[in-house]
Amino acid sequence: MDVVPWPEELVERYRRAGHWQGRPLGELLRERAREHPDAPALLSDGLSWSYAELDERGDRLAAGLVDLGVRPGDRVVVQLPNIPEILPLLIALFRLGALPVLGLPAYRASEAVHLCRSTDAVAYVVPDTDPDTGFDYRELAAEVRAKAPSLRHVLVAGEPGLYTPLREVDAAPRPLPAPAAGDPAVLLVSGGTTGLPKLIPRTHDDYFYNLRASAEVCGLHERSVYLAVLPIGHNFPLACPGVLGVLHAGGTVALCPSPSPETAFAAIERFRATVTAVVPPLAALWSQAVRWSAADIGSLELVQVGGARLSPDAARLIGPALGCELQQVFGMAEGLLSYTRRGDDAETVATTQGFPLSPDDEIRVVDAAGEDVPPGAVGNLLTRGPYTLRGYYRAPEHNLRAFTADGYYRTGDLVRLTAEGRLVVEGREKDLVNRGGDKISADELQNHLRAHPAVLDAAVVPVPDLYLGERTCACLLLRDGHDEAPDLTAFLHDRGLATYKIPDVVRIFDAFPLTSVGKVDKRELARAVTPKTDATASELRPGDPGAGTRSR
Ligand code: OOB
């Protein structure tokens, strides 16, 4: 089975509660476009589209895609940066019932081929080049196409090279059968812990609820201007409440081409942005940079920070520095969202990740045996609810481990609940590195590292980093005859791995520390590679007494 449904009694409950309204996502703009056709829907450098215009572009593109042969239920891998074209494309795919598979601009052949192959995608949509680095996505597409036989089309936003220009996928709007609201609308990529990332089916009903309830919690309205800084392919800027949430509220999406403080502050000033979402390192950078900026960012009312741990000290600086309210967001592409609420006192916002979004989010905090921990104690977070997946896409084996028998998703996060029921994230059990919000699966990276001829075995662990929170450390055992760290950057690059996954630190070991059952002891390894304040990591070896400054 591709997609695991919710049990019937929960379907009934979510409908009765009004969470699921039976509306497909393609209806998002319809009403506003009809009643306020001239209201601004999208702003970007030198460009402004009204609701009527965005609505029509969605319809024309949907008709054009149907003419190309894209059918309801087909998968289309979308790997676009924050450019205007991404919005009509998503709307068109929602309307015709084809599923966008959302990749990040940083992905390279390894990730993009996996997305196309694991979904049997019929089309792959890319920009022409990255204006900052010159990276040519059409060359990437050539490689992907050669390795993904299901692809029938490569569509390019911009100069198409050998491929089809996205702007020519265009036809007179015509009525299309609406997809069922219980069908998947989009496939999101999991930050996941397995060798290759799993895909998360989000249905029209569940994702509509996700963005609608999020827009409400954030107080979005028709005059809200949401600045998209993080890549829109990520759940946070897409629907929490993100660009889709602000369109639902009748507000305006503004696109920011780069998260750098200069560019972002200029965009806030120019578009009079009222709300945006960033990861903790960006929030910290902006809080510093604002002191030297002449830009007027006074329109900003709310900055959402999420994706990785935000320290209370860093949190306390953000609101005063940027002159707006801070909201902490703990979320996951799999579903569950937890938000501090507008008007919460500053200490609550600095020290908790707030309440789950929905009254029907079910939360359990359990020990290793799966038993509920005493109130207030730290444990593994399990959750199910009206917008949390019941199973990964085409992954029956993995689903047996990732979910309890009664359908709770095992998040892999360690949390506690305050007396009021707020969530506080204390760490995680899952085997990944959270590099300032970018998730790197240890398993995936280890598999690449083990393919290097000099590498006998590899174990990937996080090392603390002042700016990113964590960086990636590759611990290696070398084969006989090799005694120096190999050049992994070129090697991993050649394997088509996204640059952010390339290890920041490499350490060579004679042996890995093992647990009592003979597995690599990652906790011990992480401790061993964590520099003491008066020593460098390279001087440490596993087993050094007090080698770590933190334990997880
Ligand atoms: C967001 O989604 P993903 O799927 O990239 O990553 C989810 C994981 C969580 O399981 C948790 O381990 C970590 O990222 N995380 C946080 C956090 N927010 C996410 N850890 C500590 N504090 C936080 N505030 O990252 C995501 C999706 C939607 C909204 C916001 C973030």
3-state helix, strand, coil in the chain (%, to 5): 30, 25, 45
Give the integer Cα–Cα distance in Å for 385 and 406: 12
Ligand 1, atom nearest to 310 Cα: 22
Ligand 1, atom nearest to 430 Cα: 12
Give the integer Cα–Cα distance in Å for 499 and 243: 26
DSSP letter at 519 equals S
Quick check: helix, strand or coil at residue 182?
coil
Token duo for residue 450:
């083990």
Instruction: Please report the pLDDT score of residue 181 as a whole number.
Output: 98
Instruction: Please report the pLDDT score of residue 289 as a whole number.
Output: 98
Q: What is the pTM of this model?
A: 0.96
Q: Which of 428, 462, 481 is the last residue of a domain?
A: 428
Check whether 188 has a pLDDT greater than 60: yes
Please choose from 238, 243, 332, 363 the residue to mutate so as to test ligand 1's pocket, defined by most ligand atoms within 8 A of CB. 332
Q: Is residue 173 part of a domain?
A: yes
Candidates 141, 138, 140, 143; CA nearest to 158 is 138
Instruction: Please report the pLDDT score of residue 532 as a whole number.
Output: 82
376 and 493 in a single domain? The answer is: no
Residue nearest to atom 30 of ligand 1 (CA): 331
262-312 tens-digit pLDDT: 999 999 999 999 999 999 999 999 999 999 999 999 999 999 999 999 999
Residue 332 Cα to ligand 1 midpoint, Å, equals 5
Candidates 425, 440, 464; CA nearest to 309 is 425
86-115 tens-digit pLDDT: 999 999 999 999 999 999 999 999 999 999
Residue nearest to atom 25 of ligand 1 (CA): 307
Model confidence band, residue 9 (pLDDT cutoffs 50, 70, 90): very high
375-385 tens-digit pLDDT: 999 999 999 99
Instruction: Please report the pLDDT score of residue 146 as a whole number.
Output: 98
Q: Is residue 511 part of a domain?
A: yes
Residue 191 host element (H or E): none
Instruction: Please report the pLDDT score of residue 533 as a whole number.
Output: 66
CATH code (residue 150)? 3.40.50.980
434 by Cβ neighbours in 10 Å (0-12 / 13-18 / 19+) ranks as buried
Residue nearest to atom 3 of ligand 1 (CA): 332
Quick check: helix, strand or coil at residue 527?
helix
401 and 477 in a single domain? The answer is: no
126 and 159 in a single domain? The answer is: yes
80 and 137 in a single domain? The answer is: yes
Distant-in-sequence, close-in-space partners of 208: CB < 8 Å, separation ≥ 6:
20, 21, 23, 25, 181
293 by Cβ neighbours in 10 Å (0-12 / 13-18 / 19+) ranks as middle
Q: What are phi and psi of 502, to 5 degrees?
A: -70, 130
92 and 172 in a single domain? The answer is: yes
Token duo for residue 69:
């042969």
Give the integer Cα–Cα distance in Å for 115 and 218: 32
549: how many CB neighbours lie within 10 A of its CB?
11
424 and 436 in a single domain? The answer is: no
64 and 157 in a single domain? The answer is: yes
Model confidence band, residue 1 (pLDDT cutoffs 50, 70, 90): low
445 and 400 in a single domain? The answer is: no
Token duo for residue 236:
């946070």
Residue 394 Cα to ligand 1 midpoint, Å, equals 23
Instruction: Please report the pLDDT score of residue 537 as a whole number.
Output: 39
For range 38-43, the mean pLDDT: 98
Residue nearest to atom 2 of ligand 1 (CA): 332
Q: Is residue 4 part of a domain?
A: no
Ligand 1, atom nearest to 329 Cα: 24
Residue 472 Cα to ligand 1 midpoint, Å, equals 17
Residue nearest to atom 6 of ligand 1 (CA): 332
Residue 333 Cα to ligand 1 midpoint, Å, equals 8
- Contact between 49 and 83 under an 8 Å Cβ cutoff? The reply is no
- Contact between 549 and 464 under an 8 Å Cβ cutoff? The reply is yes
368 and 444 in a single domain? The answer is: no
**How much of the chain exceeds pLDDT 90, in percent?**
94
394 and 463 in a single domain? The answer is: no
Q: What stretches of 370-486 show up as alpha helix (H) in DSSP? A: 396-402, 442-450
Residue 54 Cα to ligand 1 midpoint, Å, equals 30
Domains in the chain, number: 3
For range 118-147, the mean pLDDT: 98
CATH code (residue 477)? 3.30.300.30
Residue 240 host element (H or E): none
Pocket of ligand 1 (CB under 6 A): 191, 235-236, 240, 306-309, 328-333, 337, 353, 411, 413, 425, 428, 434, 439
Strands 438-441 and 432-435: antiparallel
Ligand 1, atom nearest to 353 Cα: 24
485 and 506 in a single domain? The answer is: yes
Q: Which of 402, 428, 454 is the last residue of a domain?
A: 428
Q: Is residue 293 part of a domain?
A: no
Residue 236 Cα to ligand 1 midpoint, Å, equals 9
Residue 405 Cα to ligand 1 midpoint, Å, equals 24
**241: preceding bond cis by omega (within 30 degrees):** yes
For range 451-463, the mean pLDDT: 98
Q: Is residue 282 part of a domain?
A: no
Q: Which amino acid is at 35?
A: E
Question: Which residue matches tokens 């007090």?
Answer: 546
Q: Is residue 138 part of a domain?
A: yes
Q: Is residue 498 part of a domain?
A: yes
- Strand ranges (DSSP E) for 354-431? 355-356, 362-366, 379-384, 409-417, 423-428
Candidates 499, 476, 477, 479; CA nearest to 489 is 499
- Contact between 471 and 462 under an 8 Å Cβ cutoff? The reply is yes
For range 483-508, the mean pLDDT: 96
Q: Is residue 202 part of a domain?
A: no
Candidates 48, 5, 54, 14; CA nearest to 34 is 54
Work out the mean pLDDT of the chain and round it to a whole number.
95
Weakest mean pLDDT among 151-155, 332-336, 497-501, 530-534: 530-534
Please choose from 330, 389, 431, 468 the residue to mutate so as to test ligand 1's pocket, defined by most ligand atoms within 8 A of CB. 330
Give, in order, the Cα–Cα distances in Å from 477 to each of 98, 531, 544: 45, 20, 18
Instruction: Please report the pLDDT score of residue 536 as a whole number.
Output: 42
Q: Which of 413, 428, 443 is the last residue of a domain?
A: 428
Check whether 445 has a pLDDT greater than 70: yes
Give the integer Cα–Cα distance in Å for 188 and 171: 28
Check whether 76 has a pLDDT greater than 90: yes
What residues make up the domain containing 116?
A: 51-179
Residue 175 Cα to ligand 1 midpoint, Å, equals 38
466 and 373 in a single domain? The answer is: no
Residue 296 Cα to ligand 1 midpoint, Å, equals 30
Residue 484 Cα to ligand 1 midpoint, Å, equals 36
CATH code (residue 407)? 2.30.38.10
